[in-house]
Amino acid sequence: MILAEKTIVIQQHTFVLTNQRALFWKEAKSLILSDLHLGKTAHFRKNGIALPSEIIEKDLQRLSDLVKHFEPQKLIIVGDFVHAGKNSEFNLFSEWKCQFPELKIILVKGNHDRISKDKLYEIGVTEICEYHAEAHFIFSHEEVESEEKFTILGHIHPGIRMKTSVGRFVKFPSFVVTNSQLILPAFSSFTGLDTKNHPKNSRYYFFTEEGIYEI
């Protein structure tokens, strides 16, 4: 894994954006991500669509690498931790969590997180909430109005569309930042990209496997 970083300051707090679909909040020692969609590929396979199980295994390995690199005390998942009902990928996550027994996992519920809390606690989630407020920030899966706090959210799987030198268009996942919110890319590598429904006056930090870039 090539880890590229871009440091930004929001509300006098330091956030490290990465090309590995997550960010690190230095002051809170927290790794933050959204839209892991645990169980999505297994759900598709169950319904007759052949997808490799290696997709979620690679996502969890990437998460392991990030935890080892940043050494966070907390993992804040900003919604859509799971995709559907309990399946074989839940066992994979439970095994993953055993590597990091001291890591606290805070789950902000998303529209896909419709499974019972007990099943989430069983695989290592520490705390489940509708939104999480900490310092000057609110963590919410979807957009919320707040005049006092900066919002960090997910849900839309943001990306940008760029034209290449040969006239073709390519899409890249992106962090989207405004004066009042930061929208996280989907952590899952098996997701589409929304390149249109973004707030006005946004700054973009798009990334590739090799780097992260601001436009």
DSSP result, 120-178 = HHHTT--EEES-EEETTEEE-SS----SSSEEEE-SS-BEEEEE-TTS-EEEEEEEEE-
CATH code matching the domain that covers 5-214, chosen among 1.10.357, 3.60.21, 1.10.10, 3.90.550: 3.60.21
Residue 195: name the closest of 166, 158, 145 by CA. Answer: 158
Contact (CB, 8 A) for 84 and 56: no
Whether the per-residue pLDDT at 78 is higher than 80: the answer is yes
d(C-alpha 175, C-alpha 153), whole Å = 10
* Band (146; pLDDT cuts 50, 70, 90): confident
The pLDDT tens digits of the residues spanning 89-113 come to 889 999 999 999 999 999 999 998 9
Annotated domain spans of the chain: 5-214
Q: The whole model's pTM is what?
A: 0.94
The pLDDT tens digits of the residues spanning 39-66 come to 876 555 555 555 656 888 999 999 999 9
Contact (CB, 8 A) for 183 and 147: no
Whether the per-residue pLDDT at 187 is higher than 70: the answer is yes
